[in-house]
Chains A and B, each alone.
Chain A
């Protein structure tokens, strides 16, 4: 996993609980903790840090991931403001995940493993298909909420089929309030 994800996680934790919390998580997960954004680090370190967070904050694992996804979006945009150029709503941004975001990520992290997204568009619904080795669909769900929050839109996300339940892919039905 790319170091940038660890950096974002650190920011999320520090923003929420202060710098000592991150030190405690590093200590508890037993990881080195020196992450450079362009570097690659074992996935287990990320999951170790998430597990430690869940334990220390007494929250379910999935909720930690969703919270991370939701909080990560504004931090990413802070770093990569050009991702939002010409994009003025949640739907457009989500539809650009394959066409804009992924190519952009490739430009910097040529070896990054990037999840596959599929879209089905309806009038008041956007179905997002998600598939990834890491099965971080909860992060994706939180991320979608983070996008909507950024644009000030009210949405509902229904996480139907899920990789973690043995389905071939996750399905997130995104609905906008009438």
Chain B
């Protein structure tokens, strides 16, 4: 009956008692072995669990830190410490691949040690380690792309640290590469006192850790590259303006701190660059800049080669500021002499013509230099002075070097003080008007005056050529122009009151500066002055320049219409010198044009060339504009112009500009006409 059911009959007879005991002991022994086996399985499971959890935590900790940090060394330090602590290595060390020499590994100075004093020599050797000869077996291990375990390092031939490893009782080494893409950027090495081979799974975890740490290196090198490109001029690969600004700021601050002179500054501007750009195209222009950069680079390199041996003597840095502007920072004991020598060398280097697209091109440079005399408080002042010197060089012609000096400083200072004085003079009214008569060319009848401003500075008359440019540059011209108009109106009122019955009103022409005319409130200003002085608008003529008229055509058109509506005559000054084509005259609502004196003054009986003037006159007459010529000096000119039908003129032929008193005298002396009764009036 072989049925295995519960309560089935056991077919064999019961054994005797001692046999039973032996059976029970065997059963007990089986149970015991089964228990041990179960415990062994459980322990092994626990151990595996523990190990994989610890590895995951290790990898996770390193990954989190690697993702958070931008500092490769910080992450290396953490990784070495964590791996040592988790895996029980008494010593770990980090080596970094030299970015300039990928075959060279250097200790990063990062280590983790939990060792006794006997390991000190080994640790010291590891911390100062530099491996640059990758021929030996050990070094080829170091740059492997996977973790490598090496036993018996205390006996290993070719392993420099074998002797100290023996002292430290280190027996085996595990190297872990830090990978950025395919490149090994660093190597972690861990040392152990035992020679148990690490499991493959552990090596895999460490490989992953190395890849995670490599990410920090990659991010850092990307951000370095970004930072570098923000500071590099893409065309020439030279440092750009931002890099230059940082550099010079730092140099200047350092030198001020140390109480030593700041480096000398050289500003270089190419003279023929715009011409190359315009005639040969931007491609040629770019090539020219690249060649220029290379020439400067070579000069700097040869200077700095010398500097390697004598760093205190010379250190030169080059940058491209913008367009065709380059700059050099020259430091060292002989910086002044060196900077000037550099400028000379640059001129010489540029004498060699360049071939741009089969065209021989010769450019020259204008160079400005500023040396620190210890008086600069701000680096911006020094930059400004180097720039000023460069402009000064440019104004002297090509291929010039100008060193900023006290005289230039004085000139700048005197221009500044001129502007200040001018402003004060405006407030005090230290100006007078002179009046140049305007006559009808055919009858020589006096029809009016041009009001010309003069500055009475410390009792002396200053000519407009000396202060008008400064007034225009500083914006004082608007204030001054307003004063001139006001004063001219007052004079017009005085003179016309003296001759109330004059047939044609005596008109005073007033020059209006572009800046003044372009003010939105200009017409309003004129209205107020007329109201304040009580001047009849017909007594005033305003002269604006072509430049002002075409700068903002809409404003011009509206302003001129409004002025004409007030019955004020408007004329175009200096006609022929500006930009407007003759046809443009049609669209500008004016009454007169004044032909610039340059068209008249040079015309003599022997070489008269009137064609341009004739054309201007024909056009003006076609547009019903009256014409005034200025700069009349000879009777010949007057006769000719009269014969062409030119109506009015002014110039030394008739009279130089007169003071108000002299002008009044002239009015009184008019032989006939409406002024003849004035003499009695004045003399009463």
Residue positions of A touching B, CB distance < 8 A: 7, 36-38, 79, 82, 85-87, 92, 95-96, 99-100, 103-104, 106-108, 110, 119-121
Contacts of B43 in A (CB 8 A): 37-38, 108
Cα distance A104–B118 when bound, in Å?
Answer: 25
| Interface status of B42 (Cβ within 8 A of chain A) | yes
| Interface status of B51 (Cβ within 8 A of chain A) | yes
Contacts of A103 in B (CB 8 A): 88
Q: Given A37-B39, A79-B40, are A108 and B194 also a contact pair (CB < 8 Å)?
A: no
| Interface status of B193 (Cβ within 8 A of chain A) | yes
The smallest C-beta distance from B277 to any residue of chain A, in angstroms, reads: 73
Contact A38 B39 (CB under 8 A): yes
Contact B116 A100 (CB under 8 A): no
| Interface status of B50 (Cβ within 8 A of chain A) | yes
| Interface status of B195 (Cβ within 8 A of chain A) | yes
Among candidates A95, A100, A106, residue contacting B169 with C-beta atoms closer than 8 Å: A95
Contact B50 A96 (CB under 8 A): no
Contact A99 B90 (CB under 8 A): yes
| Interface status of B434 (Cβ within 8 A of chain A) | no
Contact A108 B39 (CB under 8 A): no
The smallest C-beta distance from A34 to any residue of chain B, in angstroms, reads: 10
| Interface status of B371 (Cβ within 8 A of chain A) | no
Cα distance A131–B126 when bound, in Å?
Answer: 33
The chain A residue with its CB closest to the CB of B28 is: A19
Cα distance A119–B117 when bound, in Å?
Answer: 11
Cα distance A114–B606 when bound, in Å?
Answer: 123
The smallest C-beta distance from A97 to any residue of chain B, in angstroms, reads: 11
The smallest C-beta distance from B262 to any residue of chain A, in angstroms, reads: 59
CB-defined interface of B18-58 with A at 8 Å, one 1/0 digit per residue?
A: 00000000000000000100011011001100110010000
Contacts of B638 in A (CB 8 A): none
Chain B interface bracket (under 10, 10 to 19, 20 to 34, 35 or more): 20 to 34
Contact A86 B42 (CB under 8 A): no
Contacts of A7 in B (CB 8 A): 39
Tell me the chain B residues, 189-214 only, with Cβ under 8 Å from chain A: 193-196
Contact B196 A95 (CB under 8 A): no
Cα distance A37–B39 when bound, in Å?
Answer: 7
The chain A residue with its CB closest to the CB of B89 is: A99
Among candidates A37, A85, A106, residue contacting B50 with C-beta atoms closer than 8 Å: A106
The smallest C-beta distance from A90 to any residue of chain B, in angstroms, reads: 14
Q: Given A38-B43, A121-B116, are A87 and B194 also a contact pair (CB < 8 Å)?
A: yes
Cα distance A36–B37 when bound, in Å?
Answer: 12
Contacts of A79 in B (CB 8 A): 40
| Interface status of B171 (Cβ within 8 A of chain A) | yes
Contact A100 B46 (CB under 8 A): no
Cα distance A178–B35 when bound, in Å?
Answer: 45
Residue positions of B touching A, CB distance < 8 A: 35, 39-40, 42-43, 46-47, 50-51, 54, 88, 90, 116, 118, 151, 169, 171-172, 193-196
Contact B42 A96 (CB under 8 A): no
Among candidates B35, B50, B171, residue contacting A107 with C-beta atoms closer than 8 Å: B50
Q: Given A86-B171, A108-B43, are A95 and B193 also a contact pair (CB < 8 Å)?
A: yes
Q: List 14 extra interface pairs beyond A87-B194, A92-B193, A121-B116, CB under 8 A.
A: A37-B39, A79-B40, A85-B195, A85-B196, A86-B172, A96-B193, A99-B194, A103-B88, A107-B46, A107-B50, A108-B43, A108-B46, A108-B50, A120-B116
Cα distance A108–B328 when bound, in Å?
Answer: 70
Which of B40, B47, B172, B195 has the most C-beta atoms of chain A within 10 angstroms of its own C-beta? B47
Cα distance A37–B196 when bound, in Å?
Answer: 26
Query: Which 8 A-B pairs have CB atoms at the shortest separation, nearest pair first?
Result: A86-B195, A107-B50, A37-B39, A107-B47, A86-B194, A85-B196, A86-B196, A103-B88
The smallest C-beta distance from B82 to any residue of chain A, in angstroms, reads: 14
Contact B46 A38 (CB under 8 A): yes
List 23 contacting pairs A-B, 8 Å CB cutoff, sorted by A.
A7-B39, A36-B39, A38-B39, A38-B42, A38-B46, A82-B196, A85-B195, A85-B196, A86-B151, A86-B196, A92-B193, A95-B193, A99-B193, A100-B88, A100-B196, A103-B88, A106-B50, A107-B50, A107-B51, A108-B50, A110-B46, A110-B50, A121-B118
The chain B residue with its CB closest to the CB of A95 is: B193
Contacts of A106 in B (CB 8 A): 50
Q: Given A106-B50, A108-B43, are A119 and B116 also a contact pair (CB < 8 Å)?
A: yes
Contacts of A96 in B (CB 8 A): 193-194
Cα distance A106–B39 when bound, in Å?
Answer: 16
The chain B residue with its CB closest to the CB of A85 is: B196
Among candidates B47, B118, B194, residue contacting A100 with C-beta atoms closer than 8 Å: B194
The smallest C-beta distance from B51 to any residue of chain A, in angstroms, reads: 6
Cα distance A38–B41 when bound, in Å?
Answer: 11
Which of A79, A99, A106 has the most C-beta atoms of chain B within 10 angstroms of its own C-beta? A99
Contacts of B169 in A (CB 8 A): 92, 95
The smallest C-beta distance from B428 to any residue of chain A, in angstroms, reads: 94
Cα distance A107–B47 when bound, in Å?
Answer: 5
Which of B50, B54, B194 has the most C-beta atoms of chain A within 10 angstroms of its own C-beta? B194
Cα distance A87–B193 when bound, in Å?
Answer: 9
Cα distance A70–B118 when bound, in Å?
Answer: 30
Cα distance A7–B46 when bound, in Å?
Answer: 18
